[in-house]
Structure 1
């Protein structure tokens, strides 16, 4: 049994949807049939249920790369083969608006966890192509704009770096905290991994933060996107 996810053989499905926020995990579990709690240790709530007859797990990662990496490592030990993060992000590119959805094709590892996994050497944490394609094709059915491209993963949520403009020039769409670490662990453990995020603000305008009601409504589309992608994956 893993140290943090107190689950055993057969408790977790081969495919898992990941959320940083346990409240989002609980909401994801509510979209499954027969969801059963398999972990609540350390607040990392996890459930396994069915979606159209297919076993699916939903698992909290907590905030940031270190916690997300631990969770993905332990999910791999429990037999998970595909992970899809359904999270939130802040827009960097002018073309990306608050409450849009962003699907990551890759994530710049500007976080400590990714650097530690790679020894600080150059590395490209990319998403799995099949998972990314399933997310993007599923995005055609949701009622808001969907973008696909590059994220940057950083550790310091409240830092306002002068580098936003540099990331913008490099074609980065949005910033979040976990995707690079998740992709890095997945690549090293032989898992398929993808990420789709709801944009909740713009990094250059903290007053742009979406209201709780707007985020809750848009999260329904994020969940729909993730579950539709699960249906497309085999």
Structure 2
């Protein structure tokens, strides 16, 4: 079966892909590329392909949560993607992080069930971790850019509005440093499909300190800065 939702043709999606949930972030990253071309807008799933330092790169929107993001990732793989970095936002679950700081996940916990149960067909937990080459490249490029970051395990939640104080207490006690909604699925598919994956996350709010929730406009500067880190890391793998 070929892709049903992304209507791009084979060859229109690069082997190296950046994915994000926010269409505005996708367009901002795509604007950094040389000669970006919109190769899909079907279902609102924007996909741009261009070049960065002479290397083909695609930037795609995966929507919110695992059902949407895993669908997009599967179709990007069908179209030739071999390395995918999620460039997303997250809520900090450790103190000392500010809006615009970065999280580099070393693994992603998740709640069994839903999409994970359908893929695994058993009541087991997959080891969801990024590919070492991408993890290493992201750390190197973040340090080169001299941007503050934290590195460690995160949790991928399926219920944004269920992240109450008990959720924070429970996951923080397990060493989790941030929460978002898509990395576990990306890392799992990477392992299952033989694809390199990784993630760089911008802190947009905190569940343990009063930082407020940053708007897309407030994050624009930080997105531009971090976009270049992701691009530099992606062309190294």
Distance 1:170 1:132 in 2: 22
- Which 5+ residue runs of structure 2 have no aligned equivalent? none
Choose from 188, 191, 194 the match for 2:192. 188
Q: Kindly tell me the number of residue pairs found equivalent between the two proteins.
A: 233
Distance 1:72 1:33 in 2: 23
Distance 1:103 1:228 in 2: 15
Give 1:211 deviation, angstroms.
Answer: 4.7
Normalising by structure 1, what TM-score?
0.94
Superposition RMSD in Å = 1.6
Give 1:206 deviation, angstroms.
Answer: 6.5
Give 1:149 deviation, angstroms.
Answer: 1.0
Normalising by structure 2, what TM-score?
0.93
Query: Is the Cα contact below 8 Å between 1:153 and 1:177 reproduced in 2?
Result: yes
- What does 1:108-187 align with in structure 2 at a 5 Å threshold? 108-110=109-111, 112-118=114-120, 119-161=122-164, 162-187=166-191
Distance 1:125 1:22 in 2: 26
Q: Give the equivalent residue in structure 2 for 1:32.
A: 33
Distance 1:45 1:25 in 2: 8
Q: Give the equivalent residue in structure 1 for 2:81.
A: 80
Query: Is the Cα contact below 8 Å between 2:206 and 2:212 reproduced in 1?
Result: yes
Give per-residue Cα distances to partners, 1:17-69, cap 9 Å, x unaligned.
00111111111110100111110001100011000000111110011111110
Query: Is the Cα contact below 8 Å between 1:125 and 1:180 reproduced in 2?
Result: yes
Q: Give the equivalent residue in structure 2 for 1:4.
A: 5
Distance 2:163 2:58 in 1: 35
> Which deviates further from its counterpart, 200-209 or 26-35?
200-209
Give 1:115 deviation, angstroms.
Answer: 3.7
Distance 1:88 1:39 in 2: 23
> Which deviates further from its counterpart, 213-222 or 85-94?
213-222
Query: Is the Cα contact below 8 Å between 1:142 and 1:224 reproduced in 2?
Result: no
SS at match of 2:160: coil
SS at match of 2:75: helix
